[in-house]
Structure 1
Amino acid sequence: MMEYLSQVVISVHPKLYVKNPETSELGRKIIQQSILLIDEIGFEAFTFKKLGERIGSNESSLYRYFENKHKLLLYLTSWYWGWMEYRLVFETNNITDAQARLLKAVELVTEKIQDDTSTVHINEAVLNNIVIVEFTKTILTKEVDQENSEGFFMVYKKVVNRLVQMITEAKPDYPFAKSLASSIIEGALHQHFLKDHLTTITDCNELQSPSAFYKNLVEQILK
């Protein structure tokens, strides 16, 4: 799968950038270092000025790629969900049993991510940290309805809908497939956050992962 992924360009909505960062060395450097910097200092403290200083480039050059840091965060999270969709497609494609396919999909969307070395300028493990901490900031905004109407969350919704389809195939009479799918994906991010920061209000820890919790939940529903 990873050999195939290395030949695939993850599609991101063109309105999220001014100039496609994948088309130049500077653009790829912006993506690479913005991921590392946001992970280090958090999105609130992150600025284009700080990023420019880090990569040795004028702040104005960053605005040639992204209108603002909100659009940059939308780009990064959209890329992540596009990468996740490819993982879902290729790692479940040959599983014929519907329940086994669903459980594999649940594992993929809830596990702690390891870096995919086929994408040299993007560290998916670090990007996963950003998605865990910052993803809700792309949605919980006053502009969410407008941005949704423009298709900014299309890739994320495709991941959810792939999981919905697998739930329906595994248990056709289950009436809450969409709610379950979105709860698994967003809930896993929350459980990873609790595991790392608010340990007294989750059963997830180094021995008991969010993946184990959600696979157990789905298995109970499938009975």
Structure 2
Amino acid sequence: MEQLLHSVKIRINEKIFVKDPESSNLGKRIIEKSILMINDMGFESFTFKKLGTQIGSNESSIYRYFENKHKLLLYLTSWYWGWLEYQLVFATNSIAVPEEKLERAIEIITRETKEDSSFSHINEILLNKIVINEYSKSYLTKEVDEENKEGYFVIYKRLVGRITQMIQQVDANYKYPSSLSSTVVEGALHQHFLKEHFSSMTDCNDNVTPTQYLTDLVFNALNTTNNG
């Protein structure tokens, strides 16, 4: 899988950016430094002016790649979901048993992130933290319906769709496969957030992982249907 991932290019909707940041060293520096800065100061405090200072370039040069910081956040989160999707596909492609395939998929989606050397300018660990803390800000906007029509969230939706299909392969009679799938993806982010910030609101801790909880949740739901 690692060799395959080295040749992977995460394809982002071209409407999200003005110029592909992967096409130049400056673009890659914009991505690299924006991840570090957003993780450090939060999305609200992050500005293109501050980013320009960090990369040693004019603020105007950043606008040649992204229309605004909202589009930059959409790019970063889309890249993350695309990267996660590739991992899921490669890790589950050779698994024939539906239950084992679904269990492996849940693990990929919910586990703690490890840095991937395939993309030297992107710190996946910090990007994961940004997705956990900031992803909802990319879609909790008045423009979400229009942006959805433009395909800004297609990678995220495709990832949820893949898990939905795996759930249906395990239990074709389960009535809520899409809801359960989106619960796994969103629930993973939420449980990691609670574990870090509101520990009294989750049973996840140093001994119980979000992977264990969400695997239990999914298979109990499907088993309940099977036994009904």
> Deviation digits for residues 148-191 of structure 1, max 9, x if unmatched?
00000000000000000000001111010000000110011011
- What is the rounded CA distance, in whole Å, between the counterparts of 1:206 and 1:109 in structure 2? 18
Q: Distance in 1 between matches of 2:140 and 2:206?
A: 30
The amino acid of 1:68's aligned partner reads N
Residue 221 of structure 1 deviates from its aligned partner by 2.1
SS, match of residue 82 in structure 2: helix
Tell me the equivalent position of 2:141.
141
TM norm structure 1: 0.99
**Are the counterparts in 2 of residues 113 and 125 from structure 1 also a CA contact under 8 Å?**
yes
Distance 1:205 1:49 in 2: 38
Q: Which runs of 5+ in 2 are unaligned?
A: 224-228
Query: Does the Cα contact within 8 Å between 1:103 and 1:218 map onto a contact in 2?
Result: no
Normalising by structure 2, report the TM-score. Answer: 0.96
Q: Could you say which residue in structure 2 is the equivalent of 1:5?
A: 5
Q: Partners of 1:200 and 1:149 in 2: how far apart?
A: 39
Asked if residue 216 in structure 1 is aligned to residue 216 in structure 2, the reply is yes
Tell me, in whole angstroms, the C-alpha distance in 1 between the residues paired with 2:68 and 2:2: 32
Q: How far did 1:219 drift? A: 2.1
Hey, what does 1:151 align to over in structure 2? 151
Distance, in Å, in 1 between the alignment partners of 2:79 and 2:23 is 15
- Three-state SS of the structure 2 residue aligned to 1:135 is helix
Separation (CA, whole Å) in 2 of partners of 1:43 and 1:25? 23
CA distance in 2: counterparts of 1:4 and 1:95, whole angstroms: 17
Residue in 2 that maps onto 1:73: 73
The count of residues paired between Structure 1 and Structure 2 equals: 223
Q: In 1, distance between residues paired with 2:77 and 2:208?
A: 26
| AA matched with 1:203 | D
The percentage of counterpart residues that share the same residue type is 55
Distance in 2 between residues matched to 1:50 and 1:2, nearest whole Å = 35
- Name the amino acid aligned to 2:180: L
Look up the match of 2:96. Answer: 96
Aligned counterparts, 1:144-223, within 5 A: 144-223=144-223
Tell me the CA shift for residue 118 of structure 1.
Answer: 1.1
CA-based RMSD of the aligned residues comes to 0.7
Q: Does 1:52 align with 2:52?
A: yes
Gaps of 5+ in 1: none
